[in-house]
């Protein structure tokens, strides 16, 4: 755990030195979300339902195992899902162009470890691209796919979504409760009021 991250979860007072940056972060993120909400900036909607699994804090909150669980649940309900991911760790200089399709035998150096794991554990198509709207469009055009699950991307408001699932760290919760960089929050805690399903990873 870095010094800054440690301060987020131990209520160190020196984080107040970062207040100007936090105010700037709040202004920019609020403006960006507001532009999409007002329709000034257009969301791109897929031709199939999209479920976003994300969080409002920095760091891992068990998204990957939850996405695997959700995909298997959807399959049990008769859906044919695909997964989209940003593809952290994927080599962008070599390999197929983006959006890039990942399967169980893909080279992790070209896809990133998590997308490779998702493909291996679920057996469904996984599509990676830093622009999630392109990944969703590609995934929705795969034969038979009738629903898309986005691994992260809650703050990618360009991507229209039908259901938002937000995972909460049931052990650390929201740290000191401040926005970046004073605290671990990407969005205010009040954002949970507008999502479809807040889910504690302890419960999961």
Mean pLDDT of 170-182: 94
pLDDT at 1 over 70: no
Q: Which positions make up the binding site for ATP? A: 57-64
Domain ranges for the chain, please list them.
3-200
Mean pLDDT of 34-46: 96
Are the CB atoms for 189 and 22 separated by under 8 Å? no
Q: Which positions make up the binding site? A: 57-64
Look at domain 3-200 and name its CATH class.
alpha beta
What does pTM read for this prediction?
Answer: 0.93
Report pLDDT digits (tens) over 121-175: 999 999 999 999 999 999 999 999 999 999 999 999 999 999 999 999 988 899 9
- Confidence class for position 88, pLDDT limits 50, 70, 90: confident
Taking the C-alpha atoms of residue 165 and residue 27, their distance in angstroms, rounded to an integer, is 24
pLDDT at 53 over 60: yes
pLDDT at 202 over 90: no
178: left (phi over 0), alpha (psi -120 to 50) or beta: beta
């Amino acid at each position: 755990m870095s010094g800054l991250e440690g301060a987020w979860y131990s209520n160190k007072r020196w984080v107040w030195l970062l207040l100007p940056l936090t105010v700037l972060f709040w202004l920019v993120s609020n403006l960006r979300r507001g532009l999409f909400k007002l329709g000034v900036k257009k969301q791109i909607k897929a031709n199939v339902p999209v479920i976003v699994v994300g969080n409002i804090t920095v760091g891992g909150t068990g998204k990957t195992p939850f996405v695997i669980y959700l995909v298997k649940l959807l399959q049990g309900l008769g859906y044919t899902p695909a997964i989209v991911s940003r593809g952290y760790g994927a080599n962008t200089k070599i390999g197929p162009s983006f959006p890039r399709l990942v399967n169980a035998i893909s080279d992790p150096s070209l896809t990133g470890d998590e997308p490779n794991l998702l493909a291996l554990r679920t057996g469904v198509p996984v599509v990676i691209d830093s622009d999630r709207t392109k990944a969703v469009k590609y995934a929705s055009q795969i034969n038979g796919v009738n629903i898309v699950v986005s691994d992260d991307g809650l703050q990618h408001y360009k991507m229209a979504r039908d259901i938002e699932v937000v995972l909460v760290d049931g052990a650390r919760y929201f740290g000191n409760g401040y926005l970046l960089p004073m605290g671990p929050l990407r969005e205010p805690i009040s954002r949970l009021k507008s999502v479809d399903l807040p889910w504690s990873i302890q419960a999961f």
